[in-house]
Amino acid sequence: MAVHTINFEPDDRYNAFLKVCAKPSHSEGKLAGIAVAVKDNISTQGIETTCASKILKGYVPPYDAHAVGLIKNAGAAIAGKTNMDEFGMGTSTENSAFGPTLNPCDTGRVPGGSSGGSAAAVAAGMVRMALGTDTGGSIRCPAAFSGIVGFKPTYGRVSRYGLIAYANSLETIGPMATNVSDVSLLMSVISGNDRKDTTSYDKPYAHTPSADIKGLRIGIPEEYFGKGVDPDVGTVVRRAIARLEELGAVTVPCSIPSMEYALAAYYVICTSEASSNLARFDGVRYGPAADTKKSWHAAYQDVRKQGFGPEVRRRIMLGTFALSSGYYGKYYAKAQVARENVRKDFTRLFSDVDVLCGPTMPTIAFKFGEKSDPLSMYLSDILTVPVNLAGIPAISVPCGKVQGMPVGLQVMGRPFEDERVIDVAYAYEQAVKP
């Protein structure tokens, strides 16, 4: 197969990239010659992959993530690795060890996170598409804050092999682009079964978006317009839903009672899994080396103390606590029950409606430093985490502005009805196209 190269010399004024590949090569295929940015927690053979953490500085994976292999085979040119909250832990990309990414819509504000670099690279037009990852909203949040389209597929529909795990049971790789068609195109390349990921399903996505949503039943969960949600954001999103009604959809008010504790359950589960996943960064096999003159535990502690940022250390401690003897039942086990309740709530709602709609984020993009207290940052994930707990597909599509900043409409669907979620976003996008 012929190999070509492209020139990629972006003006990265937003610090979207941790690493730029100036002359990436590419082959033929569906994505031939398209520059695709890859979030830095997705392994790329021969290209440094750090998760925006000092603890992985210099780590060059000897293998490609399954999704990366697929986009390369489809002809994409890997344009570089994008900035993120360290290990995906954050909602603003402020938690990068290599400095925050700026929001191209307003450089005084965060681009959202944790896939903030991918979102900014797309929003600023540096690349046409990007891969992000979504553990509790990390694709949809920056898509909403930066005014692009971000899609979180059904859990298992895209292989996680090569995605550096933060919270295995919640996260997925997904596509980001300026429009729904490109998101759908990228999704069609990365989806499908992978024998290296035994949690993946053999359900490839081969869909061309359709704008026909006549008769579609849309549930409007009251919690998505309730306490903590900026009324201006709510108004913009309601207006967008009205547009969908004009296109022939029917709306049904509904409720997700388990949202009362969904966020707590999410944070218990993701920190628990993270405390285990991130323990392997010990400076032995990769990453900045442990001091072999010291004893094991002293050297291990040094590596982790120097290598991890404060939010990562905080979450490792929280997860360690939630799993520790005496607390497992109160936190981890309870969170699993809560998670099942969330799933059941969605199942119940989806027996009546086809999709659920609401805002992606409760507010517009924060100003830098606005959410300095960890809990207040966590609370901003309230509208995105239920989807991850249930493993269902969801998309964020730009639907207007508040104070000049973009607002995202979130569409959530039944498991493995990624196509329908994409269609709803596409219908809206086509309807409002200038």
Centroid of chain to Cα 195 = 23
Q: How far is the CB of 75 from another protein (least distance, A)?
A: 23
Q: How far is the CB of 288 from another protein (least distance, A)?
A: 7
The CA distances from residue 125 to 119, 181, 184, 215, in Å, are 10, 16, 18, 36
Q: Which residues pair with 176 in a beta bridge?
A: 130, 150
Q: How far is the CB of 366 from another protein (least distance, A)?
A: 18
Pair 123, 146: CB distance under 8 Å: yes
> Interface with another protein includes 392 (CB under 8 A)?
no
- Report how far residue 426's alpha carbon sits from residue 432's, in angstroms, rounded to the nearest whole number: 10
The CA distances from residue 102 to 26, 81, 105, 120, 146, in Å, are 29, 16, 9, 7, 10
Residue 231: other Cβ atoms inside 10 A: 9
> Interface with another protein includes 163 (CB under 8 A)?
yes
Q: How far is the CB of 133 from another protein (least distance, A)?
A: 11
Q: How far is the CB of 45 from another protein (least distance, A)?
A: 10
Count residues binding another protein (CB under 8 A).
93
Q: Residues 53, 92, 96, 114: which is the catalytic one?
A: 114
Closest CB to another protein among 168 and 235? 168
The CA distances from residue 348 to 47, 258, 353, 368, in Å, are 45, 12, 9, 39
> 68 CB contacts (<8 Å, ≥6 apart)?
38, 42, 43, 44, 45, 78, 131, 162
> Interface with another protein includes 197 (CB under 8 A)?
yes
> Interface with another protein includes 33 (CB under 8 A)?
no
Closest CB to another protein among 127 and 318? 318
What size, in residues, is the chain? 434
> Interface with another protein includes 161 (CB under 8 A)?
yes
Closest CB to another protein among 261 and 368? 261
Three-class SS of residue 44?
strand
- Report how far residue 61's alpha carbon sits from residue 282's, in angstroms, rounded to the nearest whole number: 16
Give me the DSSP letters along 362-400: SSSPPBTTS--SHHHHHHTTTTTHHHHHHT--EEEEEEE
Task: Restricting to residues 290-329, name those near another protein by CB under 8 A.
Answer: 290-302, 304-305, 308, 313-314, 316-318, 320-325, 328
Closest CB to another protein among 8 and 300? 300
- Report how far residue 292's alpha carbon sits from residue 91's, in angstroms, rounded to the nearest whole number: 36
Which stretch of DSSP H or E encloses residue 112?
Answer: none
Binding mask 57-76 for another protein (x = CB under 8 A): -xxxxxx-x-----------
Q: How far is the CB of 342 from another protein (least distance, A)?
A: 10
Closest CB to another protein among 33 and 288? 288
- In the block, which residue shows the tokens 């003159």? 293
Is 169 part of the annotated catalytic residue set?
no
Helical H segments across 25-115, by residue range? 66-73
Is 275 part of the annotated catalytic residue set?
no
Q: How far is the CB of 18 from another protein (least distance, A)?
A: 15
Task: Restricting to residues 216-275, name those near another protein by CB under 8 A.
Answer: 260-261, 264-265, 267-268, 272-273, 275
Closest CB to another protein among 207 and 313? 313
Q: Residues 138, 146, 184, 258: which is the catalytic one?
A: 138
Binding mask 360-389 for another protein (x = CB under 8 A): -------------xxx--x-----------
Closest CB to another protein among 18 and 105? 18
Task: Restricting to residues 164-183, name those near another protein by CB under 8 A.
Answer: 164-165, 168-169
Task: Restricting to residues 267-286, name those near another protein by CB under 8 A.
Answer: 267-268, 272-273, 275-276, 279-286
- In the block, which residue shows the tokens 């606005």? 370
Cα torsion 417, 423, 426, 427: sign: negative
Is 39 part of the annotated catalytic residue set?
yes
Annotated catalytic residues are 39, 114, 138
